[in-house]
Amino acid sequence: MSQQWGDPNSPGSQASNPGGQQFGSPPMYGGMQQNPMGLLAIGEKRDPIMAIVWLFLTCGIYGIYWMITYGNEVKNALGRHDLNPVMDWVIGLFTFGIYSIYCFGYKYPKLLVDMQIRAGLPPNDISTTTLIVWLFFAPVSVYLIQAELNRIWDAALQRR
């Protein structure tokens, strides 16, 4: 009898390969495959403390610039054409900031996990933390997100 695709007794199946990893496949972290192509673009490293200082000095204007810039960096690094940080921010205006809190405090930080994996880092999902903290004191979320972005940029540069 010949072996068929999906046959649990075939040489590449989960039953004969407890780790579930095929030869030549990318390494896995917690069930997620590491993307061998890495990040498509690397963003700018910023001092997280200075981001908070600029946020206060400009009465929040820098925060708008930072959200759109960080959203574009995530979009470019992952090659995601479905993301539009400017539109996310504009929709946030019409929802009195609620949609912006969701996007920049949860949706984009959730994408950092994929960026971490592509940069060769173990995944560290900070999205729930940043969302909760953003609701009470947004500058701390800015610090957490920017620090994580800097860590991703450093790891991606070391891989090149």
Average pLDDT over residues 4-33: 43
Task: State how many domains the chain has.
Answer: 1
Report the pLDDT value the prediction gives residue 37, as an integer from 0 to 100.
Answer: 65
Reported confidence tier of residue 160, pLDDT bands at 50, 70, 90: confident
Report the pLDDT value the prediction gives residue 26, as an integer from 0 to 100.
Answer: 41
Residue 16 lies in a domain: no
Residue 29 lies in a domain: no
Task: For residue 32, give the 3-state DSSP assignment.
Answer: strand
Q: What is the pLDDT of residues 25-72, one digit of tens each?
A: 344 444 444 444 689 999 999 999 999 999 999 999 999 999 999 999
Identify whether the C-beta of residue 85 lies closer than 8 Å to the C-beta of residue 71.
yes
Residue 146 lies in a domain: yes
Residue 23 lies in a domain: no
Query: Which structure tokens are listed for 54?
Result: 């600029």
Interacting residues of 93 by C-beta distance below 8 A, sequence separation 6+: 100
CA 66 to CA 105: how far, in whole Å? Answer: 12
Amino acid at 62: Y
Q: What share of the chain is helix, strand, coil (3-state, %, to 5)?
A: 60, 0, 40
Interacting residues of 90 by C-beta distance below 8 A, sequence separation 6+: none
Report the pLDDT value the prediction gives residue 2, as an integer from 0 to 100.
Answer: 46
Q: Is the pLDDT of residue 22 over 50?
A: no
Which residue(s) pair with 28 in the sheet? 33
CA 84 to CA 122: how far, in whole Å? Answer: 27
pTM summary value = 0.76
Q: Write the CA distances from 90 to 105, 144, 150, integer angstroms.
A: 15, 23, 26
Identify whether the C-beta of residue 58 lies closer than 8 Å to the C-beta of residue 71.
no
Residue 153 lies in a domain: yes
Residue 105 lies in a domain: yes
Q: What is the pLDDT of residues 65-119, one digit of tens each?
A: 999 999 999 999 999 999 999 999 999 999 999 999 999 999 999 999 999 999 9
Instruction: Print the domain residue range for 137.
Output: 57-159
Q: What is the pLDDT of residues 125-137, one digit of tens each?
A: 999 999 999 999 9
Residue 48 lies in a domain: no
CA atoms within 13 A on the CB side of 121: 21
Residue 1 lies in a domain: no
